[in-house]
Amino acid sequence: MSANVRVSTVISASFSYFCRRFHRWQTLGLRVHSIMKEQEKVKMEPSFLYNDLNVFLGKYFKEKVQKISLNAGFSCPNRDGTVGHGGCTYCNNQTFNPDYCQTDKSITCQLEEGKAFFSRKYPDMKYLAYFQAYTNTYAGLEELKRKYEEALSVPGVVGLVIGTRPDCMPDELLDYLARLNRETFLLVEYGIESTNDATLSRINRGHTYQTARDAILRTAAAGIHTGGHVILGLPGEGHDALMAQAEAVSQLPLTTLKMHQLQLIRGTRMAQEYAACPSGFRLYTADEYIELVIDYIERLRPDLVLERFVSQSPKHLLIAPDWGLKNHEFTDRLKARMRERQTWQGKLYKLKSAE
């Protein structure tokens, strides 16, 4: 190798290293600025409890916005053998599919039926098409483009929310989504579920936490709003593990976070495990879970938008825990308890280095 080539190689490597470092410093600087703004808001607004999704959406839309769930007929690589068989041990997609979400109906039809339901109360409402059931990036690029763009062509639909697995975001799709993001509101939501690899293996998730971390970093770096989803109370994860999880999740460049309690659902492998060994599961009462959630969000990054704390599965599918509370009733109780404890999101959060 000639001296000129060696010098050129060194310069190229140094420049690449500098760019990576600059991006890290820039990202950390933006995060620190955002966190400082949220901490200042706490001082100025004593009533602040947590960052609410509706407030976040209000920054982008003048009208009230509602997500409409879709079943676009996708499968899952953890079911068809590409990654694994049988799916995640807790999963039964029937628990979050409204009646209008049927694969024999087109995306347009599902959206129009969803619109008809919500518009009775809010005639001027706008909508986000929520690709929710199964893995909504698990298909060829042209098929995905056709389905996403069909949803966006429906009157009143002002953006997309795409739920998927972190091992299903190829570069060519991410490039397309980055372009789409410049034209419409877009949120890509990843199932993290746990930050503990032993737990992910136990629930047959089919990927590691590093896989989730990498997908979130890539998506956020593309300028796309990035969401995460976690389940609190998975087997083997006690209070200390979940507090560590909150700290780990806070280091990710997430825009939004969903969390909900572990639910045992009929027809799942986890339901069979519970029947065989109930002592292996920690099922919270509503009051216990409220305390856990508050402990968790005290440690979350204060600028993270919290979308949901609890999930409500259909009665005929739910084994336990059955609290008899609607989601809004749970949230009201959570807020009341936060006021009693005089606490808020990020109260115990500690900013860590980008390293």
Cβ–Cβ under 8 Å, residues 274 and 319: yes
pLDDT of 335 reads 98
pLDDT of 354 reads 45
Cβ–Cβ under 8 Å, residues 83 and 206: yes
288-330 pLDDT, tens digit per residue, is 999 999 999 999 999 999 999 999 889 999 999 999 999 999 9
Q: Which residue has the higher pLDDT, 152 or 123?
A: 152
CA pair distance 39, 27, nearest whole angstrom: 18
pLDDT of 251 reads 97
- Mean pLDDT across the stretch 277-298? 96
pLDDT band at 7 (very low <50, low <70, confident <90, very high): very low
Centre a 10 Å sphere on the Cβ of residue 154 and count the other Cβ atoms it contains.
18
- Mean pLDDT across the stretch 226-232? 97
Q: Please determine, for residue 286, whether its predicted confidence score (pLDDT) is greater than 70.
A: yes
Contacts of 67 (CB under 8 A, 6+ apart): 127, 128, 129, 130, 161
Q: Which amino acid is at 125?
A: M
Strands (E), 81-184: 126-131, 157-164
pLDDT of 47 reads 78
DSSP 317: T
210-221 pLDDT, tens digit per residue, is 999 999 999 999
pLDDT band at 37 (very low <50, low <70, confident <90, very high): low
* 8: its two tokens: 């050129």
- Mean pLDDT across the stretch 83-90? 80
SS3 123: coil
pLDDT band at 14 (very low <50, low <70, confident <90, very high): very low
Instruction: Say which range, 33-47, 84-98, 143-157, has the weakest mean pLDDT.
Output: 33-47
Report CA torsion sign: 238, 244, 246, 252.
negative
- Mean pLDDT across the stretch 103-130? 92
CA pair distance 194, 3, nearest whole angstrom: 50
pLDDT of 97 reads 57
Strands (E), the chain: 65-70, 126-131, 157-164, 185-193, 225-232, 256-261, 264-265, 305-308, 318-320
Name the one residue in this structure whose structure tokens are 């140094």.
14
CA pair distance 215, 163, nearest whole angstrom: 13
Contacts of 108 (CB under 8 A, 6+ apart): 150, 151, 153, 154
User: What's the pTM?
Assistant: 0.85
pLDDT of 78 reads 74
| Per-domain residue ranges of the chain | 1-44, 49-341
pLDDT of 76 reads 86
Q: What angle do CA 200, 201, 206 make, to 5 degrees?
A: 80
- Mean pLDDT across the stretch 77-99? 73
Its CATH class, for the domain covering 49-341, is alpha beta
Cβ–Cβ under 8 Å, residues 254 and 227: yes
pLDDT band at 346 (very low <50, low <70, confident <90, very high): very high
pLDDT of 245 reads 98
- Mean pLDDT across the stretch 329-346? 97
pLDDT of 29 reads 54
Cβ–Cβ under 8 Å, residues 131 and 70: yes
% of the chain residues with pLDDT over 90: 72
Average pLDDT value for the chain: 87
Strands (E), 94-232: 126-131, 157-164, 185-193, 225-232
59-78 pLDDT, tens digit per residue, is 999 999 999 999 999 988 87
Cβ–Cβ under 8 Å, residues 60 and 305: no
